[in-house]
Amino acid sequence: MTTLKDGDLVLLVGRDRKQYLLRLRAGQSFYTRHGSLRHGDIIGQPLGREVRTHLEYPFLVLEPSTADLIQRIKRNTQIMFPKDISHVLMRLDLFPGRRVIEAGTGSGGLTLALCRQVMPTGRVYSYESNPEAQALARANLEALGLLPYVELKIRDIKEGFDETEVDALFLDVRSPWRYVAPAARALKAGGFFGALVPTANQVSDLLEALQGHGEFAFTEVEELILRPYKAVPARLRPADRIIGHTGYLIFARRVVGGLDKSWALTEQRKRQRLLTEEDEDE
């Protein structure tokens, strides 16, 4: 059975379901209104067990998930929701060893997930134009031991990206349609493109830019709605609140060489057919 060591990161869940991230340090204590808890009472013990403060308040000691880390990082900007991030990781085909560009960094929520997905042999290149936002992201990533897997860069991406032949690229910026050409130059042939925007008119602008560039195909637009359920066996039903619209996700693949024009034309015909079918329905 694996036991916890000095320096491990744990998630403490109280009886009231409040959660705390804690980096274990020998000789230190954790303080709450429910009493103090010595780190030494956790170090050397297995995960999944209950510990109690000096006031006998119980906490469950768990390993934090990537979703737990994202939801509890310090932030000075809006971060992507885990429901969207998990889908992005799959659609960008990320795994250990991959190279991926992200813009912008924000508070580092997506950056955190990207690093955990491509480590230990992969690399994340994260661009941000706001020095204050990047400083917080750096602190968040450093606290989680993830700085070795990311290069943080302060730059307006209209100047382009330093990297080429990357496996994937994701834009979480206000006007992603302005950066389609730099994205194409950074991506390898067949590379994965993704973006997040909050409004439908932004989706239209990005779709037009991707179509007009000529090196992107298989464009898709998606929206994820998460509806949790109350996990009570005798009265299982949907929760009163859901995580609804958080943004539109746009994905595409970069195509080059002899295929670019023919595939772009195929995409254009596909869109035209859909428009024709909609007109007929009306």
Write down the domain spans for the chain. 9-64, 67-281
Work out the burial of residue 262: count CB atoms within 10 Å of its CB; fewer than 13 is exposed, 13-18 middle, 19 or more buried. exposed
Residue 77 pLDDT: 81
Q: Does residue 150 contact residue 110 with C-beta atoms inside 8 Å?
A: no
pLDDT number for residue 260: 46
Give the residues across from 195 on adjacent strands: 171, 250
Q: 268: left (phi > 0), else alpha (psi -120 to 50), else beta?
A: alpha
The whole-number pLDDT of residue 242 equals: 87
Q: pTM above 0.85? A: yes
The amino acid occupying position 136 is L
* Backbone φ and ψ of 140, nearest 5°: -65, -45
Q: Which two tokens stand for residue 248?
A: 């539109």
Cα three-residue angle 179-183-185, rounded to 5 degrees: 125
Burial grade of 147 (CB within 10 A; 0-12, 13-18, 19 or more): middle
| Peptide linkage before 120 cis (omega within 30 of 0) | yes
> Can you tell me the distance from the alpha carbon of 254 to that of 219, in angstroms, rounded to the nearest whole number?
10
Predicted pLDDT of residue 269: 62
Task: Tell me the pairing of strands 19-23 and 9-14.
Answer: antiparallel
**Where does 9-64 sit in CATH, by number?**
3.10.330.20
* CA 263 to mean position of chain CA atoms: 30
Continuous H helices in 1-94 = 66-72, 82-91
For residue 109, what are its two tokens?
A: 């929520």
Beta bridge partners, 197, equal 248
Mean pLDDT per 10-residue segment, the chain (282 residues): 92 94 96 95 95 96 96 89 96 98 96 98 97 96 96 94 98 97 97 97 97 94 94 94 91 78 55 60 60
d(CA 80, CA 210): 23
- CATH 3.40.50.150 for domain 67-281, yes or no, is yes
HSE-CB for 31 with a 13 A CA cutoff: 1
- Is the separation of the CB atoms in 39 and 25 below 8 Å? yes
Q: How far is CA 93 from the centre of its chain?
A: 13
